Amino acid sequence: MNTTRGDRPPTSVDVARAAGVSQATVSYVLTDNPHARVSEETRRRVRDAAARLGYVPDAAARTLRTGRSGIVLMPLSRARVGRLAQQVFDELEEEFRTRGYTLVQYGERTLKGVAAARSWLALRPSAVLVEAARLTRPAVDLLHASGVRAVIGLSDQPSPLVPAVVFDHRALGAAAARHLVERGSRRLAAVVPREEGLDAMGRARLAGVREVVPGAARIDLAFSEEEAGRIVRAGDLPDGVFAYNDEYAMLLISALKDAGLRVPEDVAVVGADDLPICTLMRPRLTSVHFDATASPADLAGEIDGIVRGERPSVGGEVVARFEPRLVIRASA
Amino acid sequence: MNTTRGDRPPTSVDVARAAGVSQATVSYVLTDNPHARVSEETRRRVRDAAARLGYVPDAAARTLRTGRSGIVLMPLSRARVGRLAQQVFDELEEEFRTRGYTLVQYGERTLKGVAAARSWLALRPSAVLVEAARLTRPAVDLLHASGVRAVIGLSDQPSPLVPAVVFDHRALGAAAARHLVERGSRRLAAVVPREEGLDAMGRARLAGVREVVPGAARIDLAFSEEEAGRIVRAGDLPDGVFAYNDEYAMLLISALKDAGLRVPEDVAVVGADDLPICTLMRPRLTSVHFDATASPADLAGEIDGIVRGERPSVGGEVVARFEPRLVIRASA
């Protein structure tokens, strides 16, 4: 009795029959719905039946049936922020999974507005977390009209269109500048990467530096030894530099040392991200990094609340805010 | 005539009617199927109609209709290989997109076998590219029985279960060792990271080093300054070290310099991955890295061929092979 016809995959109806429960109960148990009241004994019976039959819940069928895929989509970002983003993604992945969602990363990195929204909709996500700069009012309207329950922006400030997760790049630049000034730098500069996708963050961080020192210089720099060498040899570097991030700081410090300049005596340098390489550089690198005031668990919980309609989904809201934190080492 | 009833989203039937073509033609055009013979004029008409109606192709509906989601799933990897993997992923993403597939990255990193296969199946992928070590015979059978057309392993050697993309870690270690021997190192050691998820690659690279120098020592090392310092101070380091990758090389070189040792005079060091930091270290880091003998386009094409049933999907096959390449700088 516990087998199905061999020529089709088992369905949740088969599982319900084998476990002696309703199809809804099977669905509750196999999606790990934490809000369903199902006894542990029944859960075990359903899981055993599913395993015995080789039943696989089917996201496509579930989506059509419920209109809810449970997919949280993070479109790939133009800023290839690497390790930091990967770590945040990993932590979020786990938090969403325990809530019955599937965090998915995909798509190309450059589409904006309605064209981007259309491509994201191919997966029928329940929620989309994406750089706010890629959203437009028509795109947000299309996403909502197509069943996306939560559209969340990632941005350096609250978004007028959607609730946002705020990475305060301006405050990050300001924190670096304040430290440089406090330890004695008299003239400041901030590196703005020439690389597309990093330039916007670079400008926001520069704006923060200029909140503290309005006359701070802007150094446009591609990630190349030649260019860093040229800038250092030009000889008009100020005595305090916020280098955009740790890798640019390493680039700049190499060029400074090659030119016979001392860090921090001649030029003090602050990086950002607090990567492991900070402790491996000589001098060890002082760095600012984002510190989650909201934990990944809180963030996933907030987004789950929006998907369930228990929290408002309006522009101007801040879902979570990442504030800068300074780690002082030897380079500044 | 070009509108649909307001209370339901437009379907491909609506688009076909508005464009005066068959539903199959709509499907060909909107999935960018390069093999369909549809005139440019017709393609334009279909795209215009779709845009006018606000039609969004729906992956869930398409999957149920055709049994093919067009999703290529790359489950997240236990080895957080960072920038290198991200670059490969980016290039593959584009190649798959031009072939009408959606490359998706998701899942937790540790499940193996049937449990992993079940979680991947939630998205009904057409293809799965995953570390071969996470596959078992029952998992592969379940994936195939559930409609996955191509199961591809990522591995350091051909897999008996599935066609594989081979990253030859053993050859990478051997290439590093040969260079160290040729430039004069008499005793060798290889770093094997203690970090879970990196240890397997570390052991494969060590095995390659020992193909060249059977007596090469093994240095187990966690990514920590304290531990690197302890190992260097213990004082029995050989005069040539393959440091597993560029970041471990940076860790080791910092510890060597702190102990007053010179690189490469006292200890020659070779890294791996050829990251941008190689040129920023002093001395600049000699590094081995994987060089695609198969381009991402070829790789996507091979996998597409397997999905279409035009190429065999059997164990022992090599879909693409990444061979090591040495970049000689100053550290060895």
Q: Going by DSSP bridges, is the β-strand pair A217-221/A240-242 parallel, antiparallel, or unpaired?
A: unpaired
pLDDT of residue B284: 96
Give residue for tokens 């410090």: A253
Total number of residues shown for chain B:
332
pLDDT in tens, B194-247: 987 788 889 999 999 999 999 999 999 999 999 999 999 998 899 999 999 999
Question: What separation in angstroms does the CA of B216 have from each of B169, B204, B270?
Answer: 16, 13, 14
Whether B283 and B331 have beta carbons less than 8 Å apart is answered as yes
Q: Cα separation of B298 and A250, whole Å? A: 36
Q: Are strands A318-327 and A286-292 parallel, antiparallel or unpaired?
A: antiparallel
Distance CA A130, CA A124 (A): 15
pLDDT bracket for residue B124 (50, 70, 90): confident
Q: Using an 8 Å Cβ cutoff, are A233 and A297 in contact?
A: no
Distances (CA, A) of A97 to A34, A100, A149: 12, 5, 17
Boundaries of every domain in chain B: 12-57, 68-168+292-322, 169-290
Looking at chain A, the whole-number percentage of residues with pLDDT higher than 90 is 50
pLDDT band at A244 (very low <50, low <70, confident <90, very high): very high
CA–CA dist B40, B29 (Å, integer): 10
Q: Place A2 in a pLDDT band, splitting at 50, 70 and 90.
A: very low
Q: Inter-chain contact B59–A276, Cβ cutoff 8 Å?
A: no
Residue A4 pLDDT level (bands cut at 50, 70, 90)? very low
The yes-or-no answer to whether A12-57 and A68-168+292-323 have a common fold is: no
* Touching A: B residues 71-90, CB under 8 Å: 76, 80, 82-83, 86, 90
Residues 282-311 of B with CB under 8 A from A: 282
Report the range of poorest mean pLDDT among A273-277, A323-327, B141-145: A273-277
Measuring CA to CA, which residue among A100, A105, A114, A24 is closest to residue A69? A100
CA distance B243 to B273: 11
Looking at residue A3, what is its pLDDT? 41
Of residues A104, A105, A279, nearest to B225 (C-beta): A279
Q: With CB atoms and an 8 Å threshold, state whether A60 touches B59.
A: yes
**At B124, which amino acid appears?**
R
Give the count of beta carbons closer than 10 Å to the beta carbon of residue B79.
18
- Do A257 and B282 count as a contact with CB atoms less than 8 A apart? yes
Strand segments, DSSP code E, in A83-142 are 102-106, 127-131
Q: Per-residue pLDDT for B57 more than 70?
A: no
Of the listed ranges A240-254, B12-26, B269-283, B296-310, the least confidently predicted one is B12-26
**From the candidate CATH numbers 3.40.50.300, 1.20.1530.20, 3.40.50.970, 3.40.50.2300, the one assigned to the domain spanning A169-290:** 3.40.50.2300
Confidence at residue B22, expressed as pLDDT on a 0 to 100 scale:
85
Q: Is the pLDDT of residue B62 over 70?
A: no
Mean pLDDT of B75-103: 74
Q: How many helices (H) and strands (E) does chain B have?
A: 12, 11
A294: Cβ contacts below 8 Å, ≥ 6 apart = A302, A319, A320, A321, A322
pLDDT tens figures, A257-266: 999 999 999 9
SS3 of residue B156 by DSSP: coil
pLDDT > 80? residue A86? no
Per-residue pLDDT band at A1 (split at 50, 70, 90): very low
- Is the per-residue pLDDT at B297 higher than 90? no
pLDDT tier at A331, thresholds 50, 70, 90: very high
CB of A254 within 8 Å of a chain B CB? The answer is yes
pLDDT for res A67:
53
Which numeric CATH code is attached to A68-168+292-323?
3.40.50.2300
Q: Give dist(CA A253, CA A269) in Å, integer.
A: 8
- Residues 6 or more apart whose CB falls under 8 angstroms from that of B234 comprise none
In this structure, the number of other CB atoms found within 10 A of the CB of residue B234 comes to 8
Fold of B12-57: 434 Repressor (Amino-terminal Domain) (1.10.260)
Instruction: Enumerate residues 220 to 249 of chain B having a beta carbon within 8 A of any beta carbon in chain A.
Output: 223, 225, 247
Residue B172 carries which side chain, given as an amino acid letter? L
A107 vs B97: CA distance, rounded Å: 9
B86 and A82 within 8 Å at the Cβ level: the answer is yes
Kindly report the backbone phi and psi dihedral angles of residue B161, in degrees, each rounded to the nearest multiple of 5, phi listed first.
-90, -40
Query: What's the pLDDT tens digit per position in A143-192?
Result: 999 889 999 998 888 999 999 998 889 999 999 999 999 999 999 999 99
B chain contacts of residue A124, beta-carbon cutoff 8 Å: 58-60
pLDDT greater at residue B286 or residue B145 = B286
Residues contacting A37, CB < 8 A, separation 6+: none
Q: What are phi and psi of A68, to 5 degrees?
A: -125, 115
Task: Name the residue with tokens 């780690």.
Answer: A327
Q: How many CB atoms lie within 10 A of CB A262?
A: 10
Question: Between 3.30.565.10, 3.90.580.10, 3.40.50.2300, 1.10.10.10, what CATH number should domain B68-168+292-322 receive?
Answer: 3.40.50.2300
Phi, psi of A158 (to 5 degrees): -55, 145
Q: With 60 as the cut, is the pLDDT of residue A50 above it?
A: yes
More confident residue, B89 or A153: A153
Kindly list the residues from chain B whose CB atom is less than 8 angstroms away from the CB atom of residue A142. Answer: 54, 56
Residue A62 pLDDT exceeds 60: no
Asked if B142 is an interface residue toward chain A (Cβ–Cβ < 8 A), one would say yes
